[in-house]
A and B are shown apart, each in its own frame.
Chain A
């Protein structure tokens, strides 16, 4: 029996042994929304073998009507029991890859896009590992048009005995661990009701699946207690927004002696960064503006990327300087396997498959074309004037979704990384989001102009 057959067998036997009543087939639309349809155990064997056909035109960014049918094939490696299902009627989930009916990978499937980009890295003998810091807010259930209500006024690392949100976080972590998502740290963040849960690194595909699961788990656990959890990048004015800082590293996987070693580490460098790491960083910095529409895909994302709230604004890198776009964490002592870079602009509202794809593509481009890493920017960039930044050659990230889309549109790197299908659809969809936003007359304008003009 080959590996795939064994995995299928494992899934089928588990469904039988555990009396699973419903299997949820999960996949992701272009915008990063989790989609699901459920099948009965009787249909599972067939689904694992031949996939399930469904109408792709019902999913945002998938097919146009005339070519609408696509095939969802479960990835048996991602089969897990759903911990929140009723004990008497157990449920399980499995992520799917979407294919065209002719068996070719479907261009509108973000998971397939990430697979394709990871294959490029593998062909270069590199594994791409990611550990995200997930930030989010707990609020009282939102009422239409009302500002969000924080559940607590506690701040960073506060411990209070009656901390309901702390209990939520604990329950969330327990649920994540039972679903094979290891948690590294968790704490109360700066802003009221803001929390952070840091996941332990895995390969990028597993991590993209984990981020999808994570967002659902956080919301499910909160909802069970009547609390609303949100990954909106900037829900409260005047306090920090929610980011999804990504700790990135490449490991050699080339079958030679240095296989399994951290490709970012060099004992000979002052920063312990290898040439590969520097070129990867240079690639990320060079293409940062082009990929920002993907890593920060909402109108609201750009309200987070402003000075003064620990979110990056400028395209720069530094060690332990949290105002830069890339931070190089300095370990207490040299630790080859922990050497990594932290990419700080993405927010948790992105589509993780697409964000990881464009980040990897940008970094690999730097390696392939031997980009030169600019000098470290160790001053606090938040306090510098634009003129001084220009002198240092430090550019700003796009200031709005519209600006980000313009830069993305002219990027062949992003076009190649995402593929024609998603690239075109994403631009169309996001431009229309921007148009919708632009026609709004905001409270800011009313307050500022109504009386005075």
Chain B
């Protein structure tokens, strides 16, 4: 669903770090090498990474580099260093988002992590969602297809927004009802079918199969011939 998993280096982080992350409610996994971090990356990407550099500085930089080298969205990265390692940060600004001195204060680290990750998740939510010829402006609530404005009701817009923000994933009616409507609605899960049917009609014949029915499961937005 949403990306919420954090990568942690090294493989066996200090008990203080583990406890701080657990107490703050983060979901995390620890890895011993840059390769392992990349291999285990979820399809929707890491929420962020925490790299503790006190024992293996080279290994730590390798993880930073591999996470930062790739195109597109930058994963927020928190570096933990000892006072003696501060000089090594020079000229490596691009490899991390923020850093914290070891030993860290748990409350300080938690606050910094929340700040860094929150900042990140707001900056990765673009104001415009584009998919094929379909564009949704989240700021103005306007949707268009091939430049032609779509007249949508509020719930049609919300459903389309949810689907376009999660392309390629299959959702059951119940999930869509609870995530998009979020409350008991006259008509229950059938309401989802009704709105999918309306959206398809409004998207027009050529784009109607942007929203696919996955038999006896639910619906999926987007398909391979548009990429993704």
A64-92 contact mask (Cβ, 8 Å, vs B): 1 or 0: 00000000000011111101000000000
| A180→B198 contact, CB < 8 A | yes
8 contacts across the A-B interface (CB closer than 8 A): A79-B153, A118-B186, A178-B151, A180-B153, A182-B201, A202-B191, A251-B188, A260-B189
Asked if A17 meets B140 with Cβ closer than 8 Å, knowing A3-B182, A6-B154, A253-B184, the reply is: yes
Complex interface bits, A234-251 against B, C-beta within 8 A gives 1, otherwise 0 = 000000000000000001
Least Cβ–Cβ distance between A128 and chain B, in angstroms: 8
Residues B141 and A14 in contact, CB atoms below 8 Å apart? yes
Do B141 and A13 touch (CB < 8 A)? Answer: yes
Residue of A nearest to B139 (CB): A13
Residue ranges of B at the interface with A (Cβ–Cβ < 8 Å): 140-142, 149, 151, 153-157, 173-174, 182-191, 194, 197-198, 201-202
Q: How far, in whole Å, are A443 and B137 apart by their CA atoms in the complex?
A: 64
Q: Give chain B nearest CB distance to A19 CB in angstroms.
A: 11
A3–B190 touching, CB < 8 Å: no
A3–B189 CA distance with the chains assembled, in angstroms: 18
Whether A80 contacts B191 in the complex (CB less than 8 A), given A127-B186, A177-B201, A260-B174, comes out as no
Please state if A81 and B151 are interface contacts (CB–CB under 8 Å). Answer: yes
Indicate whether A7 reaches chain B with its CB closer than 8 angstroms.
yes
Contact of A178 among B155, B182, B187, B202 (CB under 8 A): B202
Interface assignment of A185: CB less than 8 Å from any CB of chain B: no
Which residues of chain A in 94-123 are interfacial with respect to chain B, using CB atoms and an 8 Å cutoff?
118, 122
Please give me the residue from chain B that is nearest to A14 by CB atom: B141
Which residues of chain B have C-beta atoms less than 8 A from A203's C-beta? 185-188, 190-191, 194
Q: CA–CA, A10 to B161, complex, Å?
A: 13
State A202–B189 Cα separation when bound (angstroms): 11
Given A9-B141, A127-B187, 16 more pairs with CB closer than 8 A: A10-B141, A14-B142, A17-B140, A76-B154, A77-B155, A127-B186, A127-B188, A129-B187, A177-B198, A180-B202, A200-B194, A202-B187, A253-B184, A260-B173, A260-B174, A260-B190
B188–A259 touching, CB < 8 Å:
yes
Closest to A6 in B: B154
Interface string of A163-180 (1 = CB under 8 A from B): 000000000000001101
A182-231 residues with Cβ-Cβ distance < 8 A to B are 182, 200-206
Interface size on A, residues (CB 8 A): 37
B107 CB → nearest A CB, Å: 30
Q: Which residues of B contact A204 (CB under 8 A)?
A: 186
Q: Which of A76, A80, A127, A259 has the most CB of B within 10 A?
A: A127
- Which partner residue on chain B sits nearest A126 by CB separation? B188
A357 CA / B82 CA spacing, docked (Å)? 72
Contacts of A35 in B (CB 8 A): none
Q: Counting CB contacts under 8 A, is A438 at the interface?
A: no
B190 touches A182 (CB 8 A): no
Q: Could you tell me the distance between the alpha carbons of A11 and B141 in the complex, rounded to whole angstroms? A: 9
Distance between Cα atoms of A11 and B197 in the complex (Å): 22
Smallest Cβ-Cβ distance to B174: which chain A residue: A260
Min Cβ gap B87→A in Å is 48
Tell which of A79, A81, A202, A259 has the most Cβ of chain B within 10 Å: A202
User: In the complex, which residues of chain A have a beta carbon less than 8 angstroms from the beta carbon of B151?
Assistant: 80-81, 83, 178
Q: Which residues of A contact B153 (CB under 8 A)?
A: 77-80, 180
Contact among B154, B198, B202 for A79, CB-based, below 8 A? B154
Contact between chains at B149 and A18 (CB < 8 Å): yes
Please report the C-alpha to C-alpha distance between residue A177 and residue B142 in the assembled complex, in whole angstroms. 19
- A180 to B142, Cβ gap below 8 A? no
Which residues on A sit within 8 Å (CB–CB) of B173?
260
